Amino acid sequence: MSMDVQTDRLTALRQSMVNDQVHARGVRDQRVLAAMTKVPRHLFVDDEYQAQAYEDHPIPIGEGQTVSQPLIVALMLEALSLAGPETVLEVGTGSGYQTALLAELAQQVYSVERLPELARSAAARLESLGYGNVSVSVGDGSLGLSEKAPFDAIVVSAAAPQIPQALLEQLREGGRLVVPVGPAHAQELQLVRKQQGRAVIANLEGCRFVPLIGQQGYEEGW
Ligand code: SAM
C-alpha cells in the first residue's frame, strides 16, 4: 500500500472512531471532537497494535499499562470544559495520546508519569509531532506538581483510592479535576469543581483504569 493510501485509510478510520464511538455516544464538545479527529492515535501505540488503534477498546502500551478507550478519553476531556487559555496538569502520561489532545485544547500542559521509560517515549513522540506547549516529567503525580500550580484543570488517568488532597489544593478556584476513584472493579469517574474553596463532586461514569500508584494513590501490587 502506498503511503498516501495508508494515510487516507487511517484518516478515515479516525473519523469513524470520532463519529461512531464518541459523537454517537453523546460527546458534543466540538473542540474535543476536532482534536480527536486531528491527533494520529496510531502513532501512540507500538507497530503491532497500529491496526487496532481506532478500535473501541484500550490498547497495551508496555509496562502493564494501556492507552484508554477513545470514548473514555473523550468523556474525561469534555468534562474538563477547556476553552483554550488554560494551564492543565495531567497525571499518568502513558503513551502521550491524551497529552497531545490536551495540547490541542489548552495553552500549556504539564504531564507527570511514574514510569521513566513511558515518560521518555511519550515525550519523544510529542516532540516529533511538534507539540511545544507540553512538558513531561517523571514523578509521583498523586502529589501533583506544586512548582507549576495552580492549575485550571487536572486530569488523572489512573484510579485513585480517593480524590487526592494534593490535587485539590493545586486546583485554581473555579477549576475542574477529573479522576477515576475506587478499587479495581468498582470505579467511578468523578468531576470535581472547586467552588469557594470547596470540592463539589459529580459522578460521571463507571470505568476501569489501572491504579494510581503513589503516596496519595495505591501501593504497588493493589
Ligand atoms: N492517558 C494515557 C494515554 O493516553 O496513553 C494512558 C494512561 S494509563 C491508563 C495510566 C498511566 O498512569 C500509566 O502510564 C501509569 O504508569 C501512570 N501512573 C500510575 N500511577 C502514577 C502516579 N502516581 N504518577 C504518575 N503516573 C502514574
pLDDT at 222 over 80: no
Q: Is 74 among the domain residues?
A: yes
pTM for this prediction: 0.97
- Render pLDDT for 155-179 as a digit per residue (tens, 0 to 9): 999 999 999 999 999 999 999 999 9
> Residue 95: which domain range?
59-207
Q: Is 195 among the domain residues?
A: yes
**What CATH number is given to the structural domain containing 76?**
3.40.50.150
Distance of CA 51 to the CA centre of its chain: 21
Q: How many domains does the chain have?
A: 1
Q: Is 35 among the domain residues?
A: no
Active site residue 111: no
Spatial CA neighbour of 18 closest among 56, 58, 61: 56
List beta partners, residue 153: 88, 176
Which three cell numbers, joined as nine digits, stand for 182?
475506587
Ligand 1 centroid distance, CA of 1 (Å): 35
Ligand 1 centroid distance, CA of 63 (Å): 11
What's the chain's average pLDDT?
Answer: 96
DSSP 157: -
- Render pLDDT for 86-139 as a digit per residue (tens, 0 to 9): 999 999 999 999 999 999 999 999 999 999 999 999 999 999 999 999 999 999
CA–CA gap between residue 69 and residue 67 (Å, rounded): 7
- Render pLDDT for 6-38 as a digit per residue (tens, 0 to 9): 888 999 999 999 999 999 999 999 999 999 999
**CB-facing half-sphere around the CA of 203: CA atoms within 13 A:** 9
